[in-house]
């Protein structure tokens, strides 16, 4: 039976990150705007869809947005989310709900991955037990304690920042792609390579092309270990590609108004034409030296993954080799982002969980002093990871000035009974959190303008309000001026010197901060220090057009 602990605990952690940072950025805009449009306009009249006016550099698939919006619609119907909409003013509650759906998909797939691991380990353990005839020999068999693998997985993954923070975000890598990857790897662990390869082939052509590297690695190492055969690989791979191409071609061609399979168009644009290099290039070793150390901070997972690999059954080793192959292939691509290798994080954490379970089992044979020291050190690593995650999550929550500014304007409009006005959102505002869900419902009759082409210069006199960067002056003429109404603060930078000096002070003077926390039975002194170390600035302003005197 599925380990519900993994699902519930990870869902709770994902939800906490979501509630702390409900806004989305430009990388997530296509999916979240598509979900909004599907829920608001339906699928038959797409003339008002956001992608019609702002198509982006390459088309993206609507299939993920259709799935998310379908579950969101059911939840809205059951949970009466219009009530929350009235409380929040805008439709931001629906955005939170839609992101929660994405988070649940990811946490469920992670629980499936852990469940597959537990079942294979149990099967391997039972097979080993059958090889021993007496109780004494059975007692000497060393095997990871199964009840601890899922517990360690929760601890290791739950304290990581990147995957927990982003698991609810509508990035293409996390909407359906990561869940399908986790489920496929779970199937591979249970030696169902035919379905695993089919799923990854399907996901490659529909959702994310980089999954092709993971699929190739799984097929290659499955063949090398005798876990599958060429007929099965070719049959499953072609089947997934054909079904995915047909489904994407039919659905996405309808929404884009022309025949297209978005991932193939994206491949031609980014890889064949080399356009991805515009976003920056990095050397092949960057994933190893830059991104993985950030993802696994501290390096608990890499340290114990090797141990886990050595005691794992063959099917888990095949998956481990497949994710290593994926990492190598993606390292050859000049443009790199950590989310391109997100699929390796869950299985790598599985390996580390197995390694830690086995290590703790071995420690039971050591002296009490050695056992206590090692356990204290091992348990300290996730604690450090949790502190780092809490800090990064808090800092990240301050880094969505566009979303914050839009909510401030909405509250201002409601408070002052403002209606029948047009507010312009500049590019920076739209890139940093201002989504369609953040706008007030139609009953307020407020028009939100996002014009960004040459025609903008002729429209300023039509805007009643503007949300724009404070660093650039707004155009004026003799008929009107712009009055600053409000300017919410957003994250600017971290005062690392203050944090470093505070750390030195703790070491030199006997941990005064920790003593204060203990005496007050509160973490407020720590939060106060963090707040002082984080500098905020006025990046966006809300301006009102006033007639010139």
pLDDT at 86: 45
The distance from CA 7 to its chain's CA centroid, rounded to whole angstroms, is 16
| pTM for the predicted model, two decimal places | 0.92
Confidence class of residue 140 from pLDDT cuts 50, 70 and 90? low
Which of 325-339, 453-467, 512-526 has the least mean pLDDT?
A: 512-526
Dihedral pair phi/psi, residue 490, rounded to 5°:
-140, 170
**Two tokens, residue 198:** 């089919």
Confidence class of residue 508 from pLDDT cuts 50, 70 and 90? confident
Mean pLDDT in the chain?
A: 90
**Two tokens, residue 476:** 């004026």
Strand order in the sheet with 446-449: 446-449, 421-425, 465-469, 540-547, 480-486
Which of helix, strand or coil describes residue 439? Answer: coil
pLDDT at 515: 82
Confidence class of residue 133 from pLDDT cuts 50, 70 and 90? low
CA distance 196 to 34: 29
Q: Which residues of 225-261 are buried (b: 16+ CB within 10 A; e: fewer)?
A: eebbeeebbeebbeebbeebbebbbebbeebbeeebb
pLDDT at 81: 58
pLDDT at 499: 85
Residues 179/106, Cβ–Cβ less than 8 Å: yes
Residues 336/276, Cβ–Cβ less than 8 Å: no
The distance from CA 324 to its chain's CA centroid, rounded to whole angstroms, is 21
The distance from CA 385 to its chain's CA centroid, rounded to whole angstroms, is 17
């Amino acid at each position: 039976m599925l380990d519900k602990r993994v699902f519930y605990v990870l869902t709770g952690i994902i939800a906490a990150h979501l509630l702390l940072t409900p806004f989305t950025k430009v990388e997530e805009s296509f999916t979240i705007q598509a979900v909004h449009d599907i829920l608001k306009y339906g699928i038959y009249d797409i003339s008002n869809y956001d992608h019609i006016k702002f198509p982006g550099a390459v088309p993206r698939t609507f299939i993920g947005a259709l799935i998310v919006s379908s579950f969101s619609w059911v939840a809205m119907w059951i949970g009466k989310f219009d009530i929350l909409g009235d409380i929040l003013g805008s439709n931001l509650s629906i955005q939170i709900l839609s992101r929660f759906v994405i988070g649940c998909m990811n946490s469920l797939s992670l629980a499936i991955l852990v469940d597959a691991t537990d079942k294979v380990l149990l099967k391997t353990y039972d097979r080993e037990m059958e090889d021993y005839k007496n109780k004494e020999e059975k007692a000497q068999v060393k095997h990871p304690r199964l009840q601890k693998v899922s517990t360690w997985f929760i601890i290791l993954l739950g304290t990581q920042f990147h995957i927990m923070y982003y698991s609810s975000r509508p990035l293409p890598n996390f909407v359906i792609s990561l869940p399908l990857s986790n489920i496929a790897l779970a199937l591979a662990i249970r030696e169902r390579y035919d379905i695993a390869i089919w799923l990854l082939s399907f996901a490659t052509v529909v959702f994310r092309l980089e999954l092709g590297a993971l699929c190739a690695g799984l097929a290659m190492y499955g063949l090398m270990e005798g876990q599958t055969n060429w007929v099965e690989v070719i049959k499953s791979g072609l089947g997934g590609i054909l079904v995915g191409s047909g489904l994407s071609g039919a659905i996405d061609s309808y929404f884009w108004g022309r025949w297209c399979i978005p991932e193939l168009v994206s491949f031609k644009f980014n890889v064949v034409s080399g356009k991805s290099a515009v976003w920056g290039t990095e050397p092949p070793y960057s994933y190893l030296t830059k991104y993985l150390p950030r993802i696994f901070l501290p390096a608990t997972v890499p340290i114990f993954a090797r141990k886990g690999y050595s005691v794992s059954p063959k099917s888990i080793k095949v998956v481990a080799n497949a994710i290593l192959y994926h990492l190598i292939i993606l390292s050859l691509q000049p443009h790199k982002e950590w989310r391109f290798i997100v699929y390796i994080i869950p299985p790598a954490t599985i390996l580390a969980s197995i390694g830690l379970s086995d290590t703790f089992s071995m420690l039971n044979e050591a002296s009490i002093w050695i056992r206590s020291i090692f356990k204290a050190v091992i348990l300290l690593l996730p604690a450090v990871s949790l502190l780092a995650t809490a800090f990064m999550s808090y800092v990240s929550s301050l880094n969505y000035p566009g979303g914050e500014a839009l909510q401030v304007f909405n509250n201002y409009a409601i408070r002052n009974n403002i209606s029948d006005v047009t507010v312009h959102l500049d590019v920076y505002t739209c890139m940093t959190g201002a989504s369609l869900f953040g706008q007030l419902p139609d009953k307020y009759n407020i028009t939100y303008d996002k014009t960004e082409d040459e025609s903008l210069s002729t429209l300023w006199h039509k805007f009643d309000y503007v949300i724009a960067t404070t660093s650039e002056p707004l155009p004026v003429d003799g008929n009107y001026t712009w009055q600053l109404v409000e300017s919410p603060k957003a994250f600017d930078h971290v005062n690392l010197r203050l944090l470093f000096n505070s750390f030195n002070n703790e070491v030199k003077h006997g941990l005064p901060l920790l003593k204060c926390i203990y005496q007050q039975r509160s973490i407020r002194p720590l939060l106060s220090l963090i707040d002082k170390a984080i500098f905020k600035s006025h990046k966006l302003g809300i301006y009102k057009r006033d007639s010139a005197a």
